[in-house]
């Protein structure tokens, strides 16, 4: 396969060759999908129950259990994510049912989220199609041409405290509860159905244990998972060497391999995040189930050339704020100030 890839010429030929590689991994294995549901949902609800019992012992113990419970909730979300791509089960209806169930557990309206995420996959790395399902990213020229109010808003949005600590609360507890005006009625129905399901479940659980106990357990879990989820999404597309192009130069294959990172995590973190760190392969073929991403990466040298970042290096991505079209790289506000003071440095 690898020799075949290296010998091809032209985008169409490469696309055909790459398709032959990934299609081998696109078939969901029902036994593995079912087992992943079991080894994710059972421990999650078990930990939830243990957190309830721990309330009578020490709330510090309850908070300590938040970390593994939040890890399992991340896996729950990735399963819903795979169902949204119809990669977790063979039947569309089965994907839709389990996508809605796991999405509700993760506080995400399945159809609403799926619509935005599909747009993200279709336009990731395209400077002319930003704004849906992605991190707000301005170019240097756009930022400099913006009025003061917009620049201040952008700086606020890009502040790490807002983006990683406050933003997740807004997204999961507010945005996913109300949707937005541009959402089609069919997908907006997903928001209201999810809210109704949550109201019923929360009402039943609160009746059993009290609303205070429920909030003391669920809010820390949801917050930990939301913060981690936003961080994962951020580093998957905001890193040194990322790919951004205008429509005329943009192509789907490059945005997948060069525009999505290979987030090389320690083994236990890779398990809790359901291998979503192999994001370059996921963007090339969203139909690959999460449990096949590592094998696809390991089997094919082509995918091992992707931009790789480890846990330590990923924290460097926090400084990136703007896309410099002239230099084809992400820059910080500090770098922008330096460029403005030293125009020759931008050449």
* Average pLDDT estimate for 259-272: 93
CA 104: distance to chain centroid?
17
Rounded Cα distance between 130 and 119, Å, is 10
Query: Could you tell me the residue range of the domain that residue 181 belongs to?
Result: 2-346
Q: What is the pTM of this model?
A: 0.90
Average pLDDT of the residues of the chain? 89
- How would you class 18 by CB atoms within 10 Å of its CB: exposed for 0-12, middle for 13-18, buried for 19 or more? buried
Task: Using the structure block, give the residue that is written with the tokens 């109201």.
Answer: 199
Domain total for the chain? 1
31-69 pLDDT, tens digit each? 999 999 999 999 999 999 999 999 999 999 999 999 999
- pLDDT over 80 at 78, yes or no: yes
147-159 pLDDT, tens digit each? 999 999 999 999 9
102-145 pLDDT, tens digit each? 999 999 999 999 988 988 888 888 999 887 778 999 999 999 99
The phi and psi torsions of 322 (rounded to 5 degrees) equal -135, 155
């Amino acid at each position: 396969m690898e020799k075949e890839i290296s010998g091809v010429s032209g985008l169409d030929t490469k696309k055909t060759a790459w398709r032959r590689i990934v299609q081998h991994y696109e078939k969901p294995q029902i036994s593995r999908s079912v087992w992943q549901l079991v080894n994710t949902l059972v421990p999650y609800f078990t930990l939830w129950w243990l957190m309830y019992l721990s309330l009578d012992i020490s709330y510090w113990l309850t908070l300590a259990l938040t970390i593994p419970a939040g890890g399992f909730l991340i896996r729950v979300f990735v399963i819903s994510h795979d169902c949204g791509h119809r990669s977790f089960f063979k039947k569309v209806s089965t994907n839709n049912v389990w996508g809605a169930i796991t999405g509700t557990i993760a506080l995400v309206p399945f159809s609403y989220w799926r619509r935005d995420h599909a747009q993200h996959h279709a336009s990731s790395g395209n400077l002319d199609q930003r704004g849906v399902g992605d991190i707000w990213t301005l170019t240097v020229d756009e930022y400099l041409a913006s009025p003061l109010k917009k620049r201040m808003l952008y700086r606020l949005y890009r502040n790490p405290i807002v983006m990683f600590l406050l933003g997740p609360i807004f997204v999961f507890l507010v945005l996913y509860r109300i949707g937005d005006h541009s959402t089609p009625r069919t997908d907006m129905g997903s928001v209201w159905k999810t809210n109704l399901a949550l109201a019923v479940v929360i009402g039943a659980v609160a009746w059993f244990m009290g609303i205070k106990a429920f909030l003391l357990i669920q809010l820390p879990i949801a917050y930990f998972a939301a913060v981690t989820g936003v961080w994962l999404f951020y580093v998957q597309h905001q890193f040194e060497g990322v790919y951004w192009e205008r429509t005329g130069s943009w192509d789907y294959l490059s945005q997948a391999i060069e525009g999505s990172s290979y987030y090389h995590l320690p083994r236990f973190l890779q398990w809790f995040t359901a291998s979503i760190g192999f994001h370059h392969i996921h963007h090339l073929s969203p139909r690959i189930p999460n449990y096949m991403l590592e094998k696809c990466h390991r089997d094919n040298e082509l995918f091992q050339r992707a931009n790789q970042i480890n846990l330590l290096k990923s924290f460097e991505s926090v400084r990136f704020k703007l896309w410099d079209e002239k230099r084809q790289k992400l820059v910080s506000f500090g770098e922008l100030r330096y460029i403005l003071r030293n125009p020759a440095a931008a050449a």
